[in-house]
Amino acid sequence: RLEGLAHKVLQWYLCRMEGWFAADSDIISLNGWDQGVGVMEWSGSTSPWWSWTHGLMVRSYLPVINTLAKGLDIRLGHRVTNVVRRYNGVKVTVENGKTFIADAAIAELGVGLENKIILHFENVFWPNVEFLGVVAGISYGCSYFLNLHKAARHPVLVYMPSGRLAKDIEKMSDEAAANFAFVQLKKILPDASSPIQYLVSRWGSDINSLG
């Protein structure tokens, strides 16, 4: 059994894995724990090879969504309430009672939960790194911040809790959630200045996402 700093480092890696999958480590499949974002590169040999990396969508995912949506019949403002599979397809019912017949439908994605608490500061006082992390004796107590200043040049840190921790934070008010994130930051940088603005997501309880 690992002890001391080695144990805390292990919990940190578990915390990062939970962030990647937006779920607690005890429910992540061993068959897929090391899945990542694949980027195909040409190695100069007869076949391409895959390397793994991460990226930040500095303009959000909207350009990707707009590209994928080209040529599709998109109906906005239609929140689905029921999906019934039939022998020749599916019937989809939306909130206003209207129904649609389709060949197939995705009833649910089975996504996890990772929220974001965005802290906007007057000035940058943290090192120029991609992430700032807190280690603890259990992964629930670990946390990390994404440094948006490195990518977007704004004095912003994003606290990213996942799994049970994210669910527990959703029970807090926005102010309490922002204060919780700031307390975690002060564990890393004791002299951190207070944020001037904050924004809290609630993907788990948002009726349009629920995860």
Residue-wise pLDDT for 75-130, tens only, equals 888 888 888 988 888 999 999 999 988 888 887 777 788 899 999 999 999 999 98
Q: Across the chain, what does the average pLDDT equal?
A: 82
- Domain ranges for the chain: 4-23+112-200, 76-108
Residue 14, pLDDT > 90, answer no
Strands 156-159 and 99-102: unpaired
pLDDT value for 10: 80
Whether the per-residue pLDDT at 155 is higher than 60: the answer is yes
Token reading at 94: 């939306």
4-23+112-200 CATH fold: Polyamine Oxidase; Chain A, domain 2 (3.90.660)
At residue 209, does pLDDT exceed 70? yes
**Residue 103 parent element (H or E):** none
The whole-angstrom separation of Cα 46 and Cα 123 is: 50
pTM of the model: 0.77
* Cα maximum dimension of the chain: 64
Going by C-alpha positions, the residue among 106, 101, 112 that lies closest to residue 28 is 112
Check residue 105 and give its pLDDT. 83
Q: Which residue has the higher pLDDT, 48 or 133?
A: 133
- Looking at per-residue confidence, does 169 or 209 come out higher? 169
